Structure 1
Amino acid sequence: MSKKNKPTNQKQMSFIKKARRAQIMECSIETIAEVGYAQASLGQIAKRAKISKGVISYHFANKEELLEQVAFEYYMAWKSYIAPRIEAQKSPKEMLRVHIESYLTFVDENCSIFSLL
Protein backbone atom coordinates (compact mmCIF):
# COMPACT_ATOMS: atom_id res chain seq x y z
CA MET A 1 0.00 0.00 0.00
CA SER A 2 1.43 3.38 -0.92
CA LYS A 3 1.93 6.06 1.68
CA LYS A 4 -0.82 8.13 0.10
CA ASN A 5 -3.41 5.44 0.85
CA LYS A 6 -2.61 4.75 4.49
CA PRO A 7 -5.55 5.47 6.81
CA THR A 8 -3.51 7.88 8.93
CA ASN A 9 -2.96 10.09 5.89
CA GLN A 10 -6.66 10.02 5.04
CA LYS A 11 -7.52 11.57 8.39
CA GLN A 12 -5.32 14.54 7.47
CA MET A 13 -6.98 15.08 4.09
CA SER A 14 -9.39 17.93 3.60
CA PHE A 15 -13.09 17.26 3.24
CA ILE A 16 -12.88 18.08 -0.46
CA LYS A 17 -9.99 15.65 -1.08
CA LYS A 18 -11.82 12.88 0.77
CA ALA A 19 -14.98 13.56 -1.21
CA ARG A 20 -13.14 13.58 -4.54
CA ARG A 21 -11.34 10.30 -3.74
CA ALA A 22 -14.65 8.71 -2.72
CA GLN A 23 -16.23 9.91 -5.99
CA ILE A 24 -13.36 8.46 -8.02
CA MET A 25 -13.53 5.14 -6.17
CA GLU A 26 -17.31 4.88 -6.64
CA CYS A 27 -16.97 5.64 -10.36
CA SER A 28 -14.22 3.01 -10.55
CA ILE A 29 -16.56 0.39 -9.10
CA GLU A 30 -19.34 1.37 -11.51
CA THR A 31 -17.01 1.35 -14.51
CA ILE A 32 -15.54 -2.05 -13.66
CA ALA A 33 -19.00 -3.48 -13.00
CA GLU A 34 -20.08 -2.28 -16.45
CA VAL A 35 -17.07 -3.09 -18.65
CA GLY A 36 -14.85 -5.37 -16.53
CA TYR A 37 -11.45 -4.84 -14.96
CA ALA A 38 -9.37 -5.34 -18.10
CA GLN A 39 -11.46 -2.90 -20.15
CA ALA A 40 -11.77 -0.21 -17.45
CA SER A 41 -9.31 2.63 -17.93
CA LEU A 42 -8.58 5.77 -15.97
CA GLY A 43 -10.01 7.69 -18.93
CA GLN A 44 -13.34 5.83 -18.70
CA ILE A 45 -13.45 6.33 -14.93
CA ALA A 46 -12.72 10.03 -15.36
CA LYS A 47 -15.46 10.35 -17.97
CA ARG A 48 -17.99 8.70 -15.65
CA ALA A 49 -16.90 11.01 -12.80
CA LYS A 50 -17.04 14.04 -15.14
CA ILE A 51 -13.48 15.00 -14.29
CA SER A 52 -10.18 14.96 -16.16
CA LYS A 53 -7.88 11.97 -16.09
CA GLY A 54 -5.33 14.29 -14.46
CA VAL A 55 -7.56 14.65 -11.41
CA ILE A 56 -7.45 10.89 -10.93
CA SER A 57 -3.68 10.92 -11.38
CA TYR A 58 -3.43 13.60 -8.69
CA HIS A 59 -5.12 11.28 -6.18
CA PHE A 60 -3.87 7.87 -7.37
CA ALA A 61 -0.61 6.90 -9.11
CA ASN A 62 -2.32 4.39 -11.41
CA LYS A 63 -5.28 2.06 -11.83
CA GLU A 64 -3.76 -0.57 -9.57
CA GLU A 65 -3.29 1.88 -6.70
CA LEU A 66 -6.85 3.12 -7.13
CA LEU A 67 -8.26 -0.40 -7.00
CA GLU A 68 -6.05 -1.28 -4.05
CA GLN A 69 -7.68 1.59 -2.18
CA VAL A 70 -11.15 0.43 -3.25
CA ALA A 71 -10.40 -3.05 -1.89
CA PHE A 72 -9.00 -1.58 1.34
CA GLU A 73 -12.10 0.58 1.89
CA TYR A 74 -14.35 -2.41 1.19
CA TYR A 75 -12.43 -4.50 3.72
CA MET A 76 -12.61 -1.78 6.38
CA ALA A 77 -16.38 -1.38 5.86
CA TRP A 78 -16.83 -5.17 6.00
CA LYS A 79 -14.76 -5.44 9.16
CA SER A 80 -16.58 -2.63 10.96
CA TYR A 81 -19.94 -4.14 10.00
CA ILE A 82 -19.21 -7.75 10.97
CA ALA A 83 -16.78 -7.56 13.91
CA PRO A 84 -19.16 -6.06 16.51
CA ARG A 85 -21.83 -8.62 15.66
CA ILE A 86 -19.44 -11.53 16.09
CA GLU A 87 -17.92 -10.14 19.29
CA ALA A 88 -21.38 -9.88 20.86
CA GLN A 89 -21.84 -13.66 20.68
CA LYS A 90 -20.97 -16.01 23.54
CA SER A 91 -20.37 -19.35 21.85
CA PRO A 92 -18.25 -20.33 18.87
CA LYS A 93 -21.34 -21.80 17.21
CA GLU A 94 -23.21 -18.49 17.50
CA MET A 95 -20.14 -16.57 16.37
CA LEU A 96 -19.98 -18.67 13.21
CA ARG A 97 -23.72 -18.33 12.56
CA VAL A 98 -23.61 -14.55 13.01
CA HIS A 99 -20.47 -14.28 10.88
CA ILE A 100 -22.14 -16.07 7.96
CA GLU A 101 -25.42 -14.16 8.28
CA SER A 102 -23.67 -10.81 8.66
CA TYR A 103 -21.39 -11.51 5.74
CA LEU A 104 -24.30 -12.38 3.46
CA THR A 105 -26.23 -9.31 4.58
CA PHE A 106 -23.21 -7.10 3.99
CA VAL A 107 -22.66 -8.53 0.51
CA ASP A 108 -26.35 -8.08 -0.32
CA GLU A 109 -26.31 -4.45 0.80
CA ASN A 110 -23.01 -3.71 -0.97
CA CYS A 111 -23.35 -5.86 -4.08
CA SER A 112 -21.83 -3.31 -6.48
CA ILE A 113 -18.63 -3.27 -4.45
CA PHE A 114 -18.62 -7.05 -4.05
CA SER A 115 -18.82 -7.61 -7.80
CA LEU A 116 -15.49 -5.84 -8.11
CA LEU A 117 -13.67 -8.26 -5.83
Structure 2
Amino acid sequence: MIKPAPIFKVCSQSEDVKAFLGDSPVRFYLFGFAPQSPTYPYAVWQVVNGAPENYINETPNIDGYTLQVDVYAKSASDARGVTSALIDAIEPHAYVTSYRPESRDDNTMNYRNGFDVDWLVNR
Protein backbone atom coordinates (compact mmCIF):
# COMPACT_ATOMS: atom_id res chain seq x y z
CA MET A 1 0.00 0.00 0.00
CA ILE A 2 1.32 3.44 -0.92
CA LYS A 3 1.64 5.79 2.04
CA PRO A 4 2.31 9.54 1.93
CA ALA A 5 5.41 11.08 3.45
CA PRO A 6 4.63 11.82 7.12
CA ILE A 7 5.91 15.41 7.01
CA PHE A 8 2.97 16.96 8.87
CA LYS A 9 3.03 14.31 11.61
CA VAL A 10 6.78 14.69 12.15
CA CYS A 11 6.77 18.51 12.14
CA SER A 12 3.63 18.92 14.25
CA GLN A 13 5.25 16.87 17.02
CA SER A 14 8.27 19.17 17.27
CA GLU A 15 8.19 21.62 20.18
CA ASP A 16 10.43 24.03 18.26
CA VAL A 17 8.07 24.00 15.26
CA LYS A 18 5.05 24.52 17.53
CA ALA A 19 6.81 27.46 19.20
CA PHE A 20 6.70 29.24 15.83
CA LEU A 21 3.61 27.74 14.18
CA GLY A 22 1.30 27.11 17.14
CA ASP A 23 -0.26 23.84 18.15
CA SER A 24 -4.00 24.22 17.83
CA PRO A 25 -3.77 23.97 14.90
CA VAL A 26 -0.17 23.86 13.73
CA ARG A 27 0.04 26.39 10.88
CA PHE A 28 1.73 23.92 8.51
CA TYR A 29 -0.66 23.43 5.62
CA LEU A 30 -0.85 21.26 2.55
CA PHE A 31 -0.29 23.54 -0.45
CA GLY A 32 -3.54 25.30 -1.37
CA PHE A 33 -5.16 24.78 2.04
CA ALA A 34 -3.81 27.75 4.00
CA PRO A 35 -6.56 30.14 5.14
CA GLN A 36 -7.34 33.14 2.93
CA SER A 37 -6.09 35.50 5.68
CA PRO A 38 -3.54 33.40 7.56
CA THR A 39 -1.88 34.04 10.89
CA TYR A 40 1.87 34.55 10.43
CA PRO A 41 4.25 32.84 10.41
CA TYR A 42 2.99 29.76 8.60
CA ALA A 43 4.34 27.14 6.22
CA VAL A 44 3.00 25.05 3.37
CA TRP A 45 4.22 21.83 1.80
CA GLN A 46 3.52 19.91 -1.38
CA VAL A 47 4.65 16.79 -3.20
CA VAL A 48 6.52 17.83 -6.34
CA ASN A 49 7.27 14.29 -7.47
CA GLY A 50 7.33 10.72 -6.31
CA ALA A 51 8.27 7.28 -7.56
CA PRO A 52 8.50 3.71 -6.30
CA GLU A 53 11.93 2.19 -5.71
CA ASN A 54 11.74 -0.39 -8.51
CA TYR A 55 13.72 -3.64 -8.40
CA ILE A 56 14.40 -6.19 -11.15
CA ASN A 57 13.03 -9.26 -9.37
CA GLU A 58 10.62 -8.02 -6.71
CA THR A 59 7.92 -5.43 -6.19
CA PRO A 60 8.80 -2.06 -4.67
CA ASN A 61 8.75 -1.82 -0.89
CA ILE A 62 9.71 1.87 -0.69
CA ASP A 63 8.30 5.01 -2.30
CA GLY A 64 10.43 8.12 -2.68
CA TYR A 65 8.92 11.59 -2.54
CA THR A 66 10.34 15.03 -3.22
CA LEU A 67 8.53 17.65 -1.15
CA GLN A 68 8.71 21.43 -1.35
CA VAL A 69 8.33 23.45 1.85
CA ASP A 70 7.69 27.20 1.83
CA VAL A 71 7.65 29.44 4.91
CA TYR A 72 5.89 32.82 5.06
CA ALA A 73 6.53 35.36 7.81
CA LYS A 74 6.32 39.06 8.67
CA SER A 75 10.06 39.24 9.39
CA ALA A 76 13.18 37.68 7.92
CA SER A 77 14.21 36.37 11.34
CA ASP A 78 10.87 34.57 11.78
CA ALA A 79 11.13 33.08 8.29
CA ARG A 80 14.62 31.81 9.07
CA GLY A 81 13.59 30.58 12.52
CA VAL A 82 10.64 28.59 11.18
CA THR A 83 12.79 27.17 8.38
CA SER A 84 15.44 26.08 10.86
CA ALA A 85 12.88 24.48 13.20
CA LEU A 86 11.26 22.57 10.32
CA ILE A 87 14.63 21.35 9.03
CA ASP A 88 15.65 20.21 12.53
CA ALA A 89 12.39 18.26 12.83
CA ILE A 90 12.68 16.69 9.36
CA GLU A 91 16.36 15.74 9.15
CA PRO A 92 16.19 12.73 11.51
CA HIS A 93 13.61 11.21 9.10
CA ALA A 94 14.45 12.48 5.60
CA TYR A 95 17.01 14.38 3.52
CA VAL A 96 16.98 18.13 2.93
CA THR A 97 18.28 18.35 -0.62
CA SER A 98 18.18 22.05 -1.48
CA TYR A 99 17.48 25.50 -0.09
CA ARG A 100 15.30 27.94 -2.01
CA PRO A 101 16.21 31.62 -2.30
CA GLU A 102 14.86 34.00 0.30
CA SER A 103 12.46 36.58 -1.07
CA ARG A 104 10.11 39.35 -0.05
CA ASP A 105 6.72 40.01 -1.63
CA ASP A 106 6.52 43.51 -3.12
CA ASN A 107 2.84 43.95 -2.21
CA THR A 108 2.55 42.43 1.27
CA MET A 109 6.21 42.91 2.29
CA ASN A 110 6.09 39.39 3.81
CA TYR A 111 9.16 37.18 3.72
CA ARG A 112 9.40 33.77 2.05
CA ASN A 113 11.95 31.06 2.62
CA GLY A 114 11.96 27.44 1.56
CA PHE A 115 13.66 24.13 0.94
CA ASP A 116 13.19 20.73 -0.69
CA VAL A 117 13.11 17.34 1.01
CA ASP A 118 13.58 13.80 -0.29
CA TRP A 119 11.64 11.33 1.86
CA LEU A 120 11.72 7.54 1.57
CA VAL A 121 8.58 5.84 2.89
CA ASN A 122 8.31 2.11 3.54
CA ARG A 123 5.16 0.55 2.15
Judge same fold: TM > 0.5, yes or no: no
Q: Which has the higher relative contact order, 1 or 2, with Cα contacts under 8 A spaced 6 or more apart?
A: 2
Higher Cα Rg: structure 1 or 2? 1
Higher strand proportion (structure 1 or 2):
2
State TM-score, norm by structure 1.
0.30
Higher helix proportion (structure 1 or 2):
1
